[in-house]
Amino acid sequence: MTAIEDAVPSAATGAALIDGKAFAEALRGQVAQGAEQFARSTGQPPGLAVVLVGDDPASQVYVRTKMKTAADTGIRSFPHLWPGSTSQSALLELIRQLNEDPQVHGILVQLPLPAHLDEAQVIAAISPAKDVDGFHPINVGRLSQGTATLIPCTPLGCLLLLKDRLGDLSGLKAVVVGRSNIVGKPMANLLLQANCTVTILHSRSRNLEDECRQADILVLAVGAPRKFGAGYIKPGATVIDVGINRIVSEDGKSRLVGDADTDAVSAIAGAVTPVPGGVGPMTVACLLKNTLTAASAAEGLAFD
């Protein structure tokens, strides 16, 4: 993929703001071209089944965004919007049907699920070949082994931004703050495969500030609003802020902030992803990329 324009310098500090929104737009354009080629070759568009159980407002917004963006790139959505009272057996039966449906190439079950449902069992029921979130245990294992697989969308988006910004990552010291199965662990695996020297930090880690300050690449994924300031940053480091936290400002209005104190970090770092407009748009774009990858593999076609 052709690199997007250089990151935009921050007027206040001179540090670079990595424009994830622009990169995601370019990636969606690439996916749209691939989806058009797929449809010409197979007579049908790539298909993404989106399953939402319950009425969580944030999940509803995410699902609407994903389906609209899919449609804009030529991917057909199959929405399944089910009530919060849905049983485990009914949800598993739906997934079984979607696994067998040749028009469905990717299956996304929006998380979190209602408390009475077993998320692990639901994820494991999805065919690994259609697991566009990259959460199935088989795909997790493949990622840890470094073999080809569907990669979790947020870490994949982070890696694409890093490679676009820095080129070859070999030998760089990377620190990932957070050890979740969705971001922290797969992010660390991807950075290892890119030949970085990787450290994972978490709530029990000692000397957090000192460890972060060693990083050429610092990935923040803990959900701690503006916790990480200038004292955590190595001069010139690239900071990828995965945190999305809603806070109430002094004027009483709510707004989104990351895990980094962006103004303070920008005084030291070489580049940083803003929140919003950094990693967030990449997550949806990579979901569509994974859907096209899964569809192409199902039909014996190639998409890179």
For the annotated catalytic residues, the residue numbers are 66, 110, 133
Quote the CA–CA distance of 69 and 231 in Å, as a whole number: 38
Query: Within 13 A of 1's CA, how many CA atoms are on the CB side?
Result: 23
Radius of gyration of the chain (CA): 19
Q: Which amino acid is at 79?
A: P
- Closest to 27 (Cα-Cα) out of 4, 52, 56, 60: 4
> What is the token pair recorded at 71?
């449609």
CA distance 260 to 220: 7
- Other residues' Cβ atoms within 10 Å of the Cβ of residue 142: 17
CA-CA distance, 150 to 130, in Å (whole number)?
Answer: 9
Separation CA 229–CA 143 (nearest Å): 32
What's the gap between Cα 107 and its chain centre?
16
Contact 272, 18 (CB under 8 A): yes
Question: Which tokens belong to 172?
Answer: 């760089």
